[in-house]
Structure formats: C-alpha cells, structure tokens
C-alpha cells in the first residue's frame, strides 16, 4: 500500500496538461489572426531528401524519360553490400537534382510547389501541356524517449504537426516532460536542437509546430520518474527483507 501511494502521488495534473495558458472561457473571443496559417505551410527540401517527380503530357515517350527513376542507397550492413532502391530523385549534398532534358536543378530550400512551378515552365519548352507532380518519397519522422510507442513513422500527406506526431506515438507517458520536448532538425547542413514547451499556447505560433522530413522528437523523462525509480530500488530490498523476516517468524511460531 505504501508503494502504491508513493508511485501515484509524485505527478501533479499541472505537469501533464497541455496548453495551460489558454483561458477556459469562450474560445470565440480569440483573435482571428492568432495561430499558424496552416493552409500556407509546406515543408522545404534539403540535401538527402528523395523527390518523386511525375510528368504527364501528350508524349508518353517523353514522360517515361523523367518518371520513376530509382535512387540506390546503402543499407546498414557490416559488408556494405546491400542496397535499397527508392523511386525518386536524390537531392545531393549541394542541394541539386539531375532531371532528364533539364539537367542540374537547385532545389535546396524550396518547397514542392515551387519546384513544380519551375519544372512546368521549363518542360513547356519540350512538351505539350505538361502536368508536373512533386512529392517527397522519404518523408518520415522519428519519435524517441518517454512516449508510449517510440519509433520511425512515415508521413504520406507530407504535413504533420508535432501534436499529431506525438499522437502517432501514443502520446507522452505520464512521466514525459511536456515543457522540455526536444526537436532535432537539420538546418543549413547542421543538426540543431530546439526546446518545445507543450504546456504553452505559444507552440501554436512556433516555426516548429509543423515538422520537416527526418525531424527527430525526443521526450525527456521528468524528475519524478527518476526519483520513483531511485526510491523503488531503495524500498524493494527493505520490503523483501521484511517479508522474508515475517515468513521466518511465522514458520518459527508455527512449529
């Protein structure tokens, strides 16, 4: 009974509540300009991304020159001999892709819609009424730490918020540190870490509300979990010793 009380009394409601600074009154009073403009959001392209570019025009032969190339990537293996083929154009370290008929194209820092517009304008010189689709082939996020289901999750619709990502992972555990979630993102060729406070409404206006391909989310455990684990290691030997002593006493008097 002491252990049960101990384990359930260390986490307060305030520690596990999201958006604590949003008033509980009428939400319609909030400004219409508050929050992130979701309709305008698009992830940007970085080196290492794989783009699936599909072209449709009246010339099937020309379409086939561009559509569905395969990019080979080394897989993790001691022999370094296994490869994996992924449909799409690999963005090289310089931020470029090689497109048939068009050659070298700089895509680093651009969005899929910007690339689509540019390719359509360039292909109109060679094709009749081309239609271009540009999508990520490798949009995925990694969620680690104190969540219910850590892992790597693909994002087929290319748009996901940090709240949706944590929902995929089954939400933070009761011990997950909600005011210190870490987001690791590649920016300008370097991995940078950003601290996110899920207990504040400011996350709604944050540039990290929406995730980019290959983002990593890490949830630290709270100090309560560490304290509980430490106390558990201290208490269990005492409990076991007490039970053992009680058993010996009972057996003695039973005789």
Does the pLDDT value for residue 120 go beyond 70? yes
Residues in the chain: 255
**Whether 122 contacts 99, CB under 8 Å:** no
Q: Residue 27: its pLDDT value, please?
A: 41
Looking at the domain covering 12-20+139-221, what would its CATH class be? alpha beta
- Parallel/antiparallel/unpaired status of strands 89-90 and 50-56: antiparallel
Tokens of 53: 């570019």
Query: How high is the mean pLDDT of the chain?
Result: 79
CA-CA distance, 205 to 159, in Å (whole number)? 16
pTM value? 0.69
**Whether 97 contacts 122, CB under 8 Å:** no
Does the pLDDT value for residue 22 go beyond 70? no
In this structure, which topology does domain 50-136 adopt according to CATH?
A: wza like fold (3.30.1950)
Does the pLDDT value for residue 63 go beyond 90? no
pLDDT tens-digit map of 218-233 = 999 986 554 454 445 5
Q: Choose the weakest-confidence range: 55-64, 112-121, 138-147.
A: 55-64
Q: Which carries the bigger pLDDT value, residue 84 or residue 253?
A: 253
Q: Residue 69: its pLDDT value, please?
A: 63
Q: Residue 151: its pLDDT value, please?
A: 96
Q: Choose the weakest-confidence range: 60-64, 90-94, 193-197.
A: 60-64
Q: Residue 28: its pLDDT value, please?
A: 39
Tokens of 169: 């992972």
CA-CA distance, 196 to 210, in Å (whole number)? 12
Residue extents of the structural domains in the chain: 12-20+139-221, 50-136, 224-255
Alpha carbon 139 to its chain's center: 10
Does the pLDDT value for residue 29 go beyond 50? no
Q: Choose the weakest-confidence range: 2-6, 42-46, 101-105, 187-191.
A: 2-6
Does the pLDDT value for residue 188 go beyond 80? yes
pLDDT band per the 50, 70, 90 thresholds, residue 255: low
| CA atoms in the 13 A half-sphere facing the CB of 41 | 17
Does the pLDDT value for residue 78 go beyond 90? no
The whole-number average pLDDT for the span 187-193 is 89
The whole-number average pLDDT for the span 196-204 is 89
pLDDT band per the 50, 70, 90 thresholds, residue 12: low
Q: Residue 236: its pLDDT value, please?
A: 60
pLDDT band per the 50, 70, 90 thresholds, residue 10: low
């Amino acid at each position: 009974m002491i252990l049960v009380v101990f384990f359930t009394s260390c986490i307060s409601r305030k520690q596990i509540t999201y958006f604590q600074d949003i008033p509980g009154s009428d939400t319609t009073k909030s400004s219409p300009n508050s929050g992130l403009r979701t309709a305008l959001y698009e992830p940007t392209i970085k080196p290492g991304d794989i783009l699936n570019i599909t072209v449709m025009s009246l010339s099937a032969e020309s379409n086939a020159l561009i559509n569905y190339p395969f990019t080979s990537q080394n897989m993790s293996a001691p022999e370094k001999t296994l490869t994996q083929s992924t449909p799409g154009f690999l963005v090289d370290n310089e931020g470029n892709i090689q497109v048939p008929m068009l050659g070298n194209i700089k895509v680093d820092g651009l969005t899929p819609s910007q690339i689509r517009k540019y390719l359509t304008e360039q292909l109109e010189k060679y094709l009749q009424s081309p239609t271009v689709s540009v999508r990520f082939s490798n949009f995925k996020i990694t969620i680690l730490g104190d969540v219910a289901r850590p892992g790597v999750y693909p994002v087929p619709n290319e748009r996901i918020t940090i709240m949706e990502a944590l929902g995929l992972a089954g939400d933070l555990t009761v011990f997950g540190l909600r005011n210190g979630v870490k987001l690791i993102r590649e920016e300008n060729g370097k991995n940078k870490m950003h601290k996110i406070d899920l207990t504040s409404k400011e996350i709604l206006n944050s540039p990290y509300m929406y995730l980019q391909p290959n983002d990593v989310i890490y949830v630290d455990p709270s100090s309560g979990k560490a304290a509980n684990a430490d106390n558990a290691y201290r208490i269990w030997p005492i409990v076991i010793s007490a039970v053992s002593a009680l058993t010996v006493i009972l057996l003695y008097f039973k005789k």
